[in-house]
Structure 1
Amino acid sequence: MAVQNHARDAQNLLRSRLCNPSFVFKALSGSPDSNYSKLKFILSSSVTEACNNSLLLLGPRGSGKTAVLELVLNDLLEEYPDMISVIRLNGLLHNDDNCAFKEISRQLCVEHHLLFSKMASFDDNSQFLIAMLRECGLAHKTIVFVLEEFDLFAQVKSFYFQGKQRLLYSLLDAMQSITSQAAVIGISCRLDADQLLEKRVRSRFSHRKLLFLPPSTEIIERLLQHILLLPMDSTLPNDYATQFNTKLESVLADERFKEILKNYLSSSSTINHLLRFLFVAVSSIDVKSGYPSLDNFKTALSSFRRQPKQECIKDCSILELYILACIRRLESKEQKSYNFNSVMKEYKSIHDQFQTSDDYARNVCLRAFERLLQRDLICFSDNRGQGQSVEFRPVKCLISHFELQEGIKAYRSCPIILTKLLDR
């Protein structure tokens, strides 16, 4: 009974860690080459040396851009509590210039205990922003503008004024003054976000970019140790924590665990997906035994690998699998456009090369091709040529290489040649 209680406490502790981005990314803040260190250095120079800075945090969703920025801002607010003011905007909510300037004015009024007027015009809010930048600069206080979904600020066209990107231009232009003290941090999942800027905006932007790339094997191992190992100074008994950590390290060192993790991260290798995987694994720990096992991670992998399109492969015929494999081979050859006729050419070349017994007539292949269209495993790449025959219209594949490969492996009585075709 005591072991069960300890196991539940350990689960709660680990789940709270996995839901706390500050704890997760703290493990990556020690290296001088980390994005945390680079971002903190840039923002620290804005606070201590009155430097105006602008930069972009770029990377796929779930890679930790916002989490690292929040960690840096929290650390700076502790070091310089009266020298930083943070204004947060989101391109999904404030992509209209009038709305954005009003929200900036509202947050500045709340921060500095001023009276906010909802009836203020665009020009009033714009002048108020410039005045606040000047006053904060004289008081050696840095205003940090955090622009989530930065690319939406660059894409939207104002309904009230001619041209685009008035907000970005106003912020960056105001930072050219020696009396202002501010930093603009843009966050976007588009790697070409800076290319969306107009010429006048781009000339005022510093062009600093921090890329959040998929974590390396070394970083993943460090995160696993940091998140999953129980602390020895917690309320849990030392004997239980020691045994828990010993069993966990044994699992992490197992080659089968590394293969499980590799299979999961092959579809998406962001830190956010890793945390989701670990959360399910921790939640599946058997409280009766009280300790983690390899089966917990197998359970987590199976729960995430239930893909609807992968399930559809089980109902496909051998011929339909051949067609999907041919399409994937065409894509691997960097053939951007293909239709039924080009797929049939690839199918014939496979049959001639390997002398397979699966040789079907063209009209049978066309019916199989149409069934794949009905099951949404492939679709037409555009709406042009709707009056044309199916065999002439270009198509694209809606199932990933990984899903197709795993589906074929799980397919009963599947020809070995199909597995070899996808491995090539």
Structure 2
Amino acid sequence: MLRRKSIVKLAEDECLPEVQRILRERLSQKSVQTQVYGLDSQRRHLLDLMRRCVSMGESNSALVIGPRGSGKTMLLQSVLDEVKSDKIAKENLLQVNLNGLLQTDDRIALKEITRQLQLENTLGDKVFGSFAATLAFLLEALKSGDKTSQPILFVLDEFDLFAHHKNQTLLYNLFDISQSAQTPIAVIGLTCRLDVIELLEKRVKSRFSHRQIHIFSSLTFEEYKEVFVEILSLPKTFPERKFMQQWNQHVKELSEETMTVDVLQRLYHSDKNIRALKSFLLLPVCKLTPDHCQLESTDFLESSQYLTMDSKAAMLHGVSVLELCLIIAMKQLTILYDGDPVNFEMVYNEYQKFVQRKGHSIQCYEKPVVLKAFEHLQALELLKPADGGQRSQKEYRPMTLLVDATQINDALQKYPNCPTEVKQWNTQEVHA
């Protein structure tokens, strides 16, 4: 029995580095998830458009529009994987990827197109009178001896940024070629701007097909759990087959545990996109070690707490006791005056009343020191002026507290060595 356990332990130690490599690659966007959920009609539309271009030489253009993280890239990659499953299509289809964040003008974009189509030597030192002439020459160079052209897919990520190029020359020429019968090309734009069509010039609009594929995540919770299991499962090509089966079975069982389901439901209701799920899974995967060789529900709970951490409550853990006292004084005054703004003099008087009570061990600071602490709270954006930016004497400037009672209570519970008097003062009822 002992011998069997040691063999199992040895297998885990040997497999763990490979498990982490595979899962980290998935979570760091090195490999795009291609299993599409809840986007069947959009996928069929895009797949039909791509097949017409590859098999029939039909040029076209389309925009895939959706919020960040909704699955635009995943949808396109899924379609391309299916199209390229045909050997002839895979060999013939040329793909050019451009990004509006990188190709900031048409000259840079043209250089990138030349590089990706491997036509640097063909272009050489030739000089052309216009962008259109250069692009036409490049596409002409791709024609074979029988004058047929290979279909080309242009993927324009951050499409809306290309609309800011001078005269929108790149977009105009690509859309113009997609309407001609000479070269079969498909232009697919990916963007998160719903009003992107309004950014296009009239001449560009006239050459665009006006096909728009809108992406909105409609994942059910059961499908969301399936994605969770799929991301964490090992592929069938994993070298140790027995270990792979045990790992995948454990992940499936883990997805049904009550604690895991509760954490996943909270994440699903706040942000159901796959990118957020991958960010959530990164910490549990990174925690895998020889001493912690399996994922546990507590890992997911810890990751959820990191993701949902209140930034202002976290900042309160780092302020001084004096600054904490000023925040409590301001909270008490805000309650007393029904949410009206208060100034430093009012807060200082409340602080003085507190530290001068009998039996307190809280140090009493001089007014300039307290004012400096008050200004530091404003610099941390825990307070803000309520006078709309008007200039007034800083001691009498009305201020609004930007943290609520729940955040203050949470900070006091976790504050290291917080004086008991301060905690008790925070819980005291406010009287006029």
Distance 1:78 1:251, change over 3 A: closer
Alignment partners' CA distance in 2, 1:393 and 1:142: 66
Report the secondary structure of 1:144's partner residue: strand
1:5-29 alpha-carbon deviations (Å, 9 max, x no partner): 4334256336414524586623327
8 A Cα contact 2:157 2:190, kept in partner: yes
Match of 2:110 in 1: 101
Match of 1:375 in 2: 380
Distance 1:187 1:25, change over 3 A: same
1:385-409 alpha-carbon deviations (Å, 9 max, x no partner): 5646789999997x9x9xx967754
Match of 1:81 among 68, 90, 95: 90
- Tell me by how many angstroms 1:223 deviates: 0.9
Distance 1:321 1:135, change over 3 A: farther
Is 1:226 paired with 2:230?
yes
Is 1:43 paired with 2:46?
no
Distance 1:407 1:154, change over 3 A: farther
Distance 1:233 1:375, change over 3 A: closer
Distance 1:175 1:68, change over 3 A: same
Match of 1:235 among 210, 235, 239: 239
Match of 1:298 among 301, 304, 309: 301
1:330-376 alpha-carbon deviations (Å, 9 max, x no partner): xxxxxxxxxxxxx97x984469xxxxxxx978843698986543113
1:49-80 alpha-carbon deviations (Å, 9 max, x no partner): 33322222333444443344334334434420
Distance 1:363 1:64, change over 3 A: same
1:214-255 alpha-carbon deviations (Å, 9 max, x no partner): 5542332111121223457743353x5555444433332223
Match of 2:346 among 326, 340, 364: 364
1:92-133 alpha-carbon deviations (Å, 9 max, x no partner): 23222233234334433x16x85223563451x521423555
Alignment partners' CA distance in 2, 1:365 and 1:222: 54
Equivalent residues in 2 for 1:11-410, closer than 5 Å:
12-13=18-19, 15-20=21-26, 25-28=33-36, 33=40, 35-79=42-86, 80-108=89-117, 110=118, 115-117=122-124, 120-121=127-128, 123=130, 125-133=131-139, 139=148, 141-156=150-165, 158=166, 164-214=167-217, 215-230=219-234, 234-236=238-240, 238=242, 240-264=243-267, 268-285=271-288, 287-288=290-291, 290-304=293-307, 309-314=312-317, 315=319, 317=324, 320=327, 348-349=337-338, 363-364=345-346, 372-377=377-382, 385=389, 387=391, 409=410
Alignment partners' CA distance in 1, 2:171 and 2:121: 24
Q: Structure 2 regions of 5+ residues with no counterpart?
A: 1-5, 349-370, 414-422
8 A Cα contact 2:342 2:400, kept in partner: no
AA at the equivalent of 1:89:
L
Report the secondary structure of 2:94's partner residue: strand
Alignment partners' CA distance in 2, 1:107 and 1:286: 41
Q: Say which is worse superposed, 388-397 or 136-145, in terms of deviation.
A: 388-397
AA at the equivalent of 1:250:
E
Report the secondary structure of 2:207's partner residue: coil
Distance 1:226 1:369, change over 3 A: same
Report the secondary structure of 2:40's partner residue: coil
8 A Cα contact 1:17 1:23, kept in partner: no
Report the secondary structure of 1:207's partner residue: coil
8 A Cα contact 2:34 2:77, kept in partner: no
Report the secondary structure of 1:70's partner residue: helix
8 A Cα contact 2:64 2:215, kept in partner: yes
Alignment partners' CA distance in 1, 2:400 and 2:213: 37
RMSD, aligned CA: 4.4
- Tell me by how many angstroms 1:281 deviates: 0.9
TM-score of the pair, normalised by structure 1: 0.70
- How many residues get paired? 376
AA at the equivalent of 1:296:
D
Q: Structure 1 regions of 5+ residues with no counterpart?
A: 159-163, 326-342, 352-358, 418-424
Match of 2:364 in 1: none
Distance 1:193 1:364, change over 3 A: farther
8 A Cα contact 2:36 2:74, kept in partner: no
- Tell me by how many angstroms 1:135 deviates: 7.3
Instruction: Say which one has the larger Rg.
Output: 2
Match of 1:332 in 2: none
AA at the equivalent of 2:49:
I
8 A Cα contact 1:44 1:76, kept in partner: yes
Q: Say which is worse superposed, 297-306 or 146-155, in terms of deviation.
A: 297-306
Alignment partners' CA distance in 1, 2:329 and 2:152: 59
8 A Cα contact 1:3 1:287, kept in partner: no
Alignment partners' CA distance in 1, 2:51 and 2:427: 61
8 A Cα contact 2:177 2:185, kept in partner: no
Distance 1:243 1:135, change over 3 A: closer
Is 1:2 paired with 2:10?
no
Distance 1:188 1:393, change over 3 A: farther
Alignment partners' CA distance in 1, 2:183 and 2:155: 17
8 A Cα contact 1:83 1:141, kept in partner: yes
Distance 1:92 1:227, change over 3 A: closer
Alignment partners' CA distance in 2, 1:229 and 1:264: 20
